Amino acid sequence: MFRALYSDSITLHLINEENLPDIFALFQGHPDSREMLEELFRNYLPRYENGRRTNFGFYSLLGEELAGMTLLTVDSWEERTGSTGADVFRHMRGRGVTPRSKPHLFYLAFELLGLNRVATGCRVSNLSSKRSIEKTQGFQLEA
């Protein structure tokens, strides 16, 4: 199994139980550290169903700087579908972290895991997230 995905100056490091103490320490010292750590523990930890991992959370680095987290969830192994999500530290927003992370997740989803469909979404009021989705090659607006 892989531990990191790298391309386009973005590195995604897989979050596991073993590296959680190091990640917790890495996330300290930012004005929004508490919120990001809450998201980490709520959404980005590994999850399993019938012995197969369904939640692939990553912390992301832009160059050498911590940027945030991104996620691929296998919604159904039977239907081979998944979904993505992301949370970016406030001081790193506007640098293209989320759209540049998506190809990593697509590689994982389609090439390594054999999924057929990956969805993403955002709140209607979150215009920057909507723009991020619009910039991501391969996504088609359905609703």
Global confidence as pTM:
0.86
Supply 62's token pair.
């832009």
- Residue 133 CB burial class (10 angstroms; 0-12, 13-18, ≥19): middle
Please tell me the predicted confidence (pLDDT) of residue 32: 96
Cα–Cα dist 74/47, whole Å: 10
Residue 29: which residues within 8 A CB-CB, separation 6 or more? none
When pLDDT is cut at 50, 70 and 90, the band that residue 100 belongs to is: confident
Per-residue pLDDT at 89 exceeds 90: yes
Is domain 4-135 annotated with CATH 2.130.10.10? no
Domain ranges across the chain: 4-135
When pLDDT is cut at 50, 70 and 90, the band that residue 141 belongs to is: low
Determine the average pLDDT of the residues in 50-64.
95
